[in-house]
Amino acid sequence: MTTATKTILTAAHWGPMLVETAGDNVLSSRGALPTAHPNSLQTAVRDQVHSKARVRWPMVRKGFLASPEKPQGVRGQDEFVRVSWDEALDLIHAQHKRIRENYGPASIFAGSYGWRSNGVLHKAATLLQRYMSLAGGYTGHLGDYSTGAAQAIMPYVVGGNEVYQQQTSWPLVLEHTEVVVLWSANPLNTLKIAWNASDEQGMSYFEALRKSGKRLICIDPMRSETVDFFGDKMEWIAPHMGTDVAMMLGIAHTLVENGWQDEAFLARCTTGYDQFARYLTGESDGVAKTAEWAEAICGVSATTIRELAQLFHQHTTMLMSGWGMQRQQYGEQKHWMLVTLAAMLGQIGTPGGGFGLSYHFANGGNPTRRAAVLVSMQGTVKGGHDAVDKIPVARIVEALENPGGFYQHNGMDRHFPDIRFVWWAGGANFTHHQDTNRLIRAWQKPELVVISECFWTAAAKHADIVLPATTSFERNDLTMTGDYSNQHMVPMKRVVAPRDEARDDFEVFADLSERWEAGGRARFTEDKTDLQWLESFYRIAGERGAAQGVTLPPFATFWEANAILEMPESEQNARFVRFADFRRDPEKHPLKTESGKIEIYSRRIAEFGYGDCPPHPMWLAPDEWHGNAQPGQLQLLSAHPAHRLHSQLNYSSLREQYAVAGREPMVIHREDAKARGIADGDLVRVWNGRGQVLAGAVVSDGIRPGVICIHQGAWPDPDEGGLCKNGAVNMLTKDLPSSKLGNGCAGNTALAWVEKYHGAAPALTAFDPPASA
C-alpha cells in the first residue's frame, strides 16, 4: 500500500516553503513565494529531518553519570550513555537545584544565544529562560555576535542601533540614488536569510539596481558573489582587511581639502565636528589624514580615494554598509566613521542619500506593510524572575576563565559571575565563538553543561547531558516574513512526526517546571496547548491589524487553509526616508542622542576614558593585520557562507555545491598560492598559534593579495593532535573584544600561515554521532 503524498506549508529563516511528504518521510521542499532567485537553503528540509547527525534520544556523558556532583572524564572525549527522558530530566533537576541552592541564580548561564527557530512559540532560548525565571532567575547575555560593536556605538551617534532598523525605501533608492556603495556587504549570500522568515524581496531590488545604470561600487577585500552577480556593472575596490576607517578618513580629508564638506548640515544636524576636524587635518596629532596617508595603510591608491570623494560629493550617494568590518578589533570605529563621512556629504535624510546598515540583511528597505503583526512567547512567567546578571555574549569564555573578574562594558564597571551551570538551547556556540581551542579549555570549568539540540554539533559532543529537540518541521508554529516589512503571515504546520525520541522544548521545560514546584507546568504553559498559544498570538495580531485596517479570518480558517496571508502595501511607507523628519527640523524631531543631533564627537564616551574607543572616529591599528604580519602570514577573512546559515545545514547535501577536497573551501590569491606551491583543489593546512585546520584551496584573482577567506560556520572536527579536519575557521580566529564599549566579537582580526598538505587526507567525522550514540 502506498502512502499518499501531501504538500504542507511551513517556513524557516530562509523563507516560506512547501514540503512534500509521504507519511513520516520528507520527499522534497521548495520555496513557496515566486522568485527569480532560487534559494538553495529551501531545498534542504529532507536533510534536516532525516540527517544521520540527529540526536535520537537523551544521552549523558559516562563520567558525569557515574558521579554527577564530582564528574569524571573530559568533556568532548568521554563516551555517552543512553538514558530515558525521565532519567535525564531527574538528573538535570537534581543538579540544577543543588547548584542554585549553593551558588545562587547568577551561577546559572541560560543566556544561550543563536539563530533560534524563527517561529513565535518554539524559541528554545526564550523557553529556557522562561523556565529559569520560574526557578528564580539566571545569568543572561548582552548583544550578539553579528553586530556587537555597531549596536553599541550607534545609539551614541544617531540615537538607535541602526543595524536592525528599517532603511530608506528601495523605491526611493531606485528613483533618486545616483551612486550606491556596498561597503563590506555581500547581499547575494546574506539576503537568503532573515531573523524571522525571509520575505524574499531583496534580490529583486538588487536586480533592478543592476539594470538601473547607476554607478555601483563594492569595497571589500574579496570579490564577493554579489560583485559577480553585478558583473561589469559594478566596480570592485579591495582595501587591506581592517583598514576601512583609514580609507574613509582619506575620503573625508579630500572633501575638506576641496571645501566639499556640507558645513550647513554639519552645523545644523551634528555636534562635535570641530574636534574631529582637528584630528582629520592633523592639527591635534600632527598627522594629516590625507589620501596619501590613507593609501599607505589601506593599499587603495590616493588617486582612487580622491576620485571617490569627488564622486560622492557630486552625486546622491547611498553608503550601504555590511557588518563584517565591525566584527573586528576597534569595530565601533567603522560605522561611526561611515556615519561621519555621510554627515560630511550632507545627504543624510534625503531620498536616496546617506547611509544604511541593513540593506544586506532581511531585505531592509522593502517597505513596511500595513500588517497584523504576531506577538511571541515572552521569556518570564508571571511572578518569575528576570536575568539577575548579563554578560556580553562574546565574552562567555572570559567569564568561565575568570569568575569574579573585573571588566568594563559600555560605561559600566562590572564583574563576571561565577558560572557553574551552562544550558545552551537553540544555538551552536562552538561554531559561533572565536578561538575554539580556548573555548574547549574553558568549557571544562562548569559543573554541569546541558545542550538541547537536534543534531550532534560540537557543542553537543562537549556536553554532560544532551536532550534531543524537534526540528521546526516536527511541530506547529507561526511566523511573519520580513524583519522590517512584515509582508506575510505564514502557518508553520507540522510536516512530520518527531523522529525517534525528539521532543519539543516547550514540553521539556513544562515537565521540568513541574519538577521545580507543584503546579509549575500550569504556570509555564498557562494551561494552553501549542495551538492554543498560537491562536492567542494570532488574536492579538488581529487586534493590531484592525488598527491598520487589516482584517484576519478566524484562526481555524487560517490554519486549515495551509496558505500564506499577504499584508496590504502602505503608500506612505513606500516613501519612507530614514532621518527625514530629523533633517527637516532637528529641534522638533531630535535624535535620541545626548545632544539630539548626530554626534561626531561624544562627550559621554570621552568620559569613559577607553583607550580602545576614543570619543570620535579614529584609525587604530589592530593587534593582527597586514601592517604587522610576520613573514608568510596572510590576513584571515571569515565571511558568511553561500549555502548555510552560519553552521546550520553544514551537514546537508548542499556541501556538494561548495566543498573542495571534501573540506571547507579557502580562497587564496593566485600570487600567494604560487609562492606556496598551492594549486586549485589542493588540500591545505592553515594554522597560527591558536589552532590549525584543513581546507580545500580555491585559487582566484578575486581576493586581495595577502588575504585568505574561509567561510564561517563549519562544524569543528579536531583530531587527537588538534587538527580540524573540516576547516572550522574559528579554530584560527582571535577571541578579543571589539572594545570596552561594545565587547563585540572581533573574528575578522586574525593572521595565519598556509601550506600545501602532504599527508593522507584524514576522514571527516564532524557529522558522525558519538560511537556510543
Does the pLDDT of residue 555 top 80, yes or no?
A: yes
394 in the same domain as 260: no
Domain contains 762: no
Average of pLDDT values for 417-429? 95
Average of pLDDT values for 234-246? 98
352 in the same domain as 266: yes
Active site includes 456? no
Which triple of cell numbers denotes residue 80?
Answer: 555517552
Q: What is the mean pLDDT of the chain?
A: 96
129 in the same domain as 29: no
Active-site annotation holder among 57, 85, 103, 115: 115
Domain contains 618: no
State the alpha helices, DSSP H only, in 551-629.
Answer: 555-561, 580-584, 603-608
CA distance 503 to 499: 9
426: CATH: 3.40.50.740
Residue with cell 530530566: 89
Does the pLDDT of residue 441 top 90, yes or no?
A: yes
Active site includes 113? yes
Q: Chain centroid to CA 360: how far?
A: 12
404 in the same domain as 294: no
750: CATH: 2.40.40.20
**Burial group, residue 207, by CB count within 10 angstroms (0-12, 13-18, 19+):** middle
Q: Is the dihedral of CA 513, 519, 522, 523 positive or negative?
A: negative
Average of pLDDT values for 365-384? 90
> Which pLDDT score is estimated for 723?
97
Active-site annotation holder among 14, 85, 103, 113: 113
Does the pLDDT of residue 772 top 90, yes or no?
A: no
Domain contains 377: no
Does the pLDDT of residue 367 top 60, yes or no?
A: yes
- SS3 for 376-399 is CCCCCCCCCCCCCEEEEHHHHHHH
349 in the same domain as 489: no
Q: Rounded to a whole number, what is the largest CA-CA distance in the chain?
A: 85
Does the pLDDT of residue 220 top 90, yes or no?
A: yes
The answer to whether 130 and 381 have CB atoms below 8 angstroms apart is yes
pLDDT band of residue 111 (cuts 50, 70, 90) is confident
> Which pLDDT score is estimated for 2?
60
Residue predicted with more confidence, 426 or 708: 708
Angle at 624 between CA 618 and CA 630, to 5 degrees: 135
Bridge partner list, 279: none
Number of domains the chain contains = 4
> Which pLDDT score is estimated for 380?
73
749 in the same domain as 679: yes
Domain contains 450: yes
175: CATH: 3.40.228.10
Domain contains 70: yes
Which triple of cell numbers denotes residue 708?
Answer: 585568505
Domain contains 374: no
> Which pLDDT score is estimated for 301?
98
Average of pLDDT values for 26-41? 96
Q: Chain centroid to CA 587: how far?
A: 35
Q: Report the share of the chain in percent with pLDDT over 70.
A: 100
pLDDT digits (tens, 9 = 90+) for 667-699: 999 999 999 999 999 999 999 999 999 999 999
222 in the same domain as 356: yes
Does the pLDDT of residue 83 top 80, yes or no?
A: yes
Does the pLDDT of residue 1 top 80, yes or no?
A: no
Domain contains 548: yes
Question: Would you say the pTM of this structure is higher than 0.75?
Answer: yes
Which triple of cell numbers denotes residue 651?
Answer: 551537514
Does the pLDDT of residue 526 top 80, yes or no?
A: yes
363 in the same domain as 301: yes
171 in the same domain as 113: no
> Which pLDDT score is estimated for 112?
82
539 in the same domain as 393: yes
Classify 48 as helix, strand or coil. helix
pLDDT digits (tens, 9 = 90+) for 476-487: 999 999 999 999
> Which pLDDT score is estimated for 419?
98
The answer to whether 91 and 465 have CB atoms below 8 angstroms apart is yes
186 in the same domain as 82: no
**What residues make up the domain containing 417?**
59-143+385-566
236 in the same domain as 131: no
> Which pLDDT score is estimated for 602?
98
Average of pLDDT values for 515-522? 96
